[in-house]
Amino acid sequence: MTTEPDSSAQSAEQRGAASATVPPTDDPVGAPASGPTSTGSDQPDHDPVAFTRPAPTTTGKAAVGKADVAFKNLTRAAGLGLLALIVAIALFLVLRATHALGENDGNFLSTQEWFPNQDPPKFGVAALLFGTIVTAAIAMIIAMPVAVGIALFITVYAPRRLSSPLGYIVDLLAAVPSVVYGLWGLLVLAPHMKGIQLWLSDYLGWIPLFSADSVGRSFFVAGVVLAIMILPIVAALSREVFLQVPTAHREAALALGATRWEMIRTAVLPYGKPGVISASMLGLGRAMGETIAVALVLPASFKISWNWLEPAGNTIAANVANGWGEANDIGRGALIASGLVLFVVTMIVNIIARAIVARRRDFSGSSA
Amino acid sequence: MATRIEVTGLTAYYGKFKAVSDVNLTIEPKHVTAFIGPSGCGKSTVLRTLNRMHEVLPGARVEGSVLLDGEDLYGAGMDPVNVRRTVGMVFQRPNPFPTMSIYENVIAGLKLNGIRKKALLDERVEESLRGANLWDEVKDRLNRPGAGLSGGQQQRLCIARAIAVEPQVLLMDEPCSALDPISTLAIEDLINKLKSSFTIVIVTHNMQQASRVSDSTAFFSLEKTGDPGRLVEFDKTSKIFTNPTEKRTEDYVSGRFG
């Protein structure tokens, strides 16, 4: 058997070495620093690099070092600045809220009334918090499957001719401020929601949540409007996440005999899960913080209503938008206190989401 | 359960680009057949046509026929999903599912086949991991992530995943190119062991590897970049490496070209 080189690449090199009597003319650098491959006769045979390299690198290092330090300080300042800002916001909220809370005649957490302007003031966040969570939850339940479906269609099912323009459009839609979608939902969709609400109460009325004496400006309508508002951003982020799934994993599933849906379940969804959870948190944050659209839908009643098709309810953010103008000093403090509650709830939800993602960090694929 | 593969008049395209032209060869059952040749000669493309993975890429298509024990993989009514359950594949880069444990990786294919019984799954996991020479190294950490193993172990895990569904043919696309020499040796030993049960086709850039592991060797080449690759010579490995018929084969295996 003839001597076989290890690989084609190596064989090329060996041929080069065999014919090395001819000086390598295609050497792009030709300078001493080009390393051991340049076998020019003006260089000592033993490792010229060790001798020629230090001089340029030390000066280079000093320059790099300065820029490095400057950049490090810049990023550190930004990080610390952000922390300081959060602390300042929290302090501001607490300080402004404390006075109003001290004057409060009712229990802030359990009272379902909002009369901060009367004497003695009486207000509580219970109904507002309930409405915030319910509307945001309805929005998530409606928007998440649709958003993930859109993202999967674009990344997996759509032919390439369709997927690039669709992806572009979704990204574009996500960049439009959500209030635009809110207005559309409010002006175009909400007036036509009566039919579906009646249908729901007719057929699902045996579930208490869907039973209704009359339907109208309900949590359900607010939830649908919110869902429309958060849909583009969640879909765009999910698409981005699914695009990150390595082709190797998708092909691995296909090569095992997976259908396209099985490939999605085996390779795409598990890999994308942390990213989709992050995207949903962003959507949830938007849904909970949305003011105008919700304020225009809900009748601003301070009542914990378990009939989600009936016109009732209010949210923290909507209440701030509604009440700020006519609030006196105590009233503003009360609204700020409710804002503080929203702040805390958002934090808790985010912490839970992060814990879910972290629970299986070893399996996240980030190490692969 | 090993199978003869007859490739007739196979031409593969990527969109308008003709990647390989008119390939004819017969792969013997329970043999190791190696595909060698310079980059771009279409050997990986031909390999991927053998389990219809070629057409997964957008715009890719195939002409000609691939008979698996007489049955045309590209015949009407042939579902690529079923083809891939019969013809398993191991890729160039180890690609265990990062979101799954070692155990889950091995049973991934079985779950697609609807096998749910724990006892049976346990049995097949041990069998497959033993078959892939990996059992002793991972038996105490089956519930750890598959992506936490070394590169060579990951590749053997992928082999275990592929053989767990008991395919008839095992395709390997440069399975050692991302591995160190020790891991490469482990995979080559494994290939020798597996050929008693499977028909194996392996693409490799490493000619020593081809001469070590294979019974038959197919040499592919192309005239110049942009031309379709062609099958130059297909024969017993010993003949290809010592006394090839074609001048081009001799130039390639002796390192004068390529």
- Residue A204 is predicted with a pLDDT of 84
Checking if the pLDDT of A95 tops 60, the result is: yes
Mean pLDDT check: name the lowest of A73-87, A113-127, A138-152, B113-127. A113-127
Reported as a single tens digit per residue, the pLDDT across A219-248 is 898 999 899 989 999 999 999 999 999 999
pLDDT confidence tier of residue A147, bands split at 50, 70 and 90: very high
Cβ of A4 within 8 Å of Cβ of B165? The answer is no
Checking if the pLDDT of A43 tops 70, the result is: no
Residues of B in contact with A270 (CB under 8 A): 97, 99-100
Q: Average of pLDDT values for B24-42?
A: 92
- Residue B7 is predicted with a pLDDT of 94
Residues of A in contact with B208 (CB under 8 A): 4, 6
- Residue A21 is predicted with a pLDDT of 39
Q: Do the Cβ atoms of A125 and A318 come closer than 8 Å? A: no
- Residue B115 is predicted with a pLDDT of 87
Q: What share of chain A in percent tops pLDDT 90?
A: 30
- Residue A66 is predicted with a pLDDT of 87
- Residue A139 is predicted with a pLDDT of 94
Of chain A residues 135-164, which have a CB less than 8 A from chain B? 159-160
Amino acid at B237: T
CA angle A72, A73, A76 (to 5 degrees): 85
Reported as a single tens digit per residue, the pLDDT across A96-110 is 888 888 888 888 888
The residue of chain A nearest to residue B162, with distances taken between CA atoms, is A256
CA distance, residue A15 to nearest chain B CA (Å): 7
Measure the CA–CA gap between B118 and B127, rounded to whole angstroms: 14
Q: How many CB pairs under 8 A join A and B?
A: 123
Reported as a single tens digit per residue, the pLDDT across A273-319 is 999 999 999 899 889 988 888 888 888 888 888 888 888 888 888 88
Distances (CA, A) of B127 to A218, A342, B20, B101, B106: 59, 55, 38, 17, 10
Q: What share of chain B in percent tops pLDDT 70?
A: 98
pLDDT confidence tier of residue A45, bands split at 50, 70 and 90: very low
Checking if the pLDDT of B105 tops 80, the result is: yes
Checking if the pLDDT of B172 tops 90, the result is: yes
Instruction: Name the residue among B108, B255, B256 with its Cβ closest to that of A256.
Output: B108
- Residue A63 is predicted with a pLDDT of 61
Measure the CA–CA gap between B214 and B121, rounded to whole angstroms: 32
φ, ψ of residue B30 to 5 degrees: the values are 55, 35
Residue that the structure tokens 């649709």 belong to? A146
pLDDT confidence tier of residue A62, bands split at 50, 70 and 90: low
- Residue B257 is predicted with a pLDDT of 67
SS3 B233: strand
Measure the CA–CA gap between B118 and B250, rounded to whole angstroms: 53
Question: Could you write out the three-class secondary structure of chain A?
Answer: CCCCCCCHHHHHHHHHHHCCCCCCCCCCCCCHHHCCCCCCCCCCCCCCHHHHCHHHHHHHHHHHHHHHHHHHHHHHHHHHHHHHHHHHHHHHHHHHHHHHHHHCCCCCCCCCCEECCCCCCEECCHHHHHHHHHHHHHHHHHHHHHHHHHHHHHHHHCCHHHHHHHHHHHHHHHHCCHHHHHHHHHHHHHHHHHHHHHHHHHHCCCCHHHCCCCCCCEHHHHHHHHHHHHHHHHHHHHHHHHHCCCHHHHHHHHHCCCCHHHHHHHHHHHHHHHHHHHHHHHHHHHHHHCCHHHHHHCCCCCCCCCCCCCECCCCHHHHHHHHCCCCCHHHHHHHHHHHHHHHHHHHHHHHHHHHHHHHCHHHCCCCC
CA distance, residue B107 to nearest chain A CA (Å): 10
CA distance, residue B253 to nearest chain A CA (Å): 7
Residues of A in contact with B84 (CB under 8 A): 254-257
- State both tokens at B160: 């275990």
- Residue A1 is predicted with a pLDDT of 39
- Residue A365 is predicted with a pLDDT of 58
Q: Do the Cβ atoms of B126 and B116 come closer than 8 Å? A: no
Instruction: Tell me the average pLDDT of chain A.
Output: 80
For residue A120, cis peptide bond before it (omega within 30 degrees of 0): yes
φ, ψ of residue B36 to 5 degrees: the values are -125, 165
Q: Average of pLDDT values for A27-40?
A: 40
- State both tokens at B181: 């020499």
Cβ of B51 within 8 Å of Cβ of A8? The answer is no
Cβ of A14 within 8 Å of Cβ of B255? The answer is yes
pLDDT confidence tier of residue A121, bands split at 50, 70 and 90: confident
Cβ of A271 within 8 Å of Cβ of B165? The answer is no
Measure the CA–CA gap between B100 and B107, rounded to whole angstroms: 10
- Residue B129 is predicted with a pLDDT of 94
Residues of B in contact with A366 (CB under 8 A): 98
- Residue B47 is predicted with a pLDDT of 95
Mean pLDDT check: name the lowest of A137-146, A179-188, B160-169. A179-188
- Mutation choice for A interface testing from B99, B101, B113, B256 by most A CBs within 10 A: B99
SS3 B208: helix
Checking if the pLDDT of A68 tops 50, the result is: yes
Q: Do the Cβ atoms of B213 and B188 come closer than 8 Å? A: yes
Checking if the pLDDT of A215 tops 70, the result is: yes
Quick one: B51 exposed, middle or buried, by C-beta within 10 A (0-12, 13-18, 19+)?
buried
φ, ψ of residue B166 to 5 degrees: the values are 50, 65
DSSP for B161-183 reads HHHHT--SEEEEESTTTTS-HHH
Neighbours of A132 (CB within 10 A): 28
Q: Average of pLDDT values for A242-269?
A: 93
pLDDT confidence tier of residue B1, bands split at 50, 70 and 90: very low
Residues of A in contact with B211 (CB under 8 A): 1, 4
DSSP code of residue B101: B
Reported as a single tens digit per residue, the pLDDT across B231-240 is 999 999 999 9
Of chain A residues 256-295, which have a CB less than 8 A from chain B? 256-259, 262, 266-267, 270-271, 273
Amino acid at A227: A
Half-sphere exposure (Cβ direction) of A93: Cα atoms closer than 13 Å? 16
Measure the CA–CA gap between B87 and B75, rounded to whole angstroms: 16
The residue of chain A nearest to residue B110, with distances taken between CA atoms, is A256
Reported as a single tens digit per residue, the pLDDT across A172-207 is 988 888 888 888 888 888 888 888 888 888 888 788
pLDDT confidence tier of residue A322, bands split at 50, 70 and 90: confident
- Residue A115 is predicted with a pLDDT of 84
CA angle B68, B69, B73 (to 5 degrees): 25
Question: Hey, is the C-beta of A19 within 8 angstroms of any chain B C-beta?
Answer: no
Q: Do the Cβ atoms of A319 and A239 come closer than 8 Å? A: no
Which neighbouring-strand residues pair with B180?
A: none
Checking if the pLDDT of B216 tops 80, the result is: yes
Cβ of A5 within 8 Å of Cβ of B81? The answer is no
Measure the CA–CA gap between B5 and B50, rounded to whole angstroms: 8
Query: What is the pTM for the complete model shown?
Result: 0.78
- Residue A142 is predicted with a pLDDT of 95
Measure the CA–CA gap between B206 and B187, rounded to whole angstroms: 13
Instruction: Name the residue among A259, A266, A270 with its Cβ closest to that of B81.
Output: A259
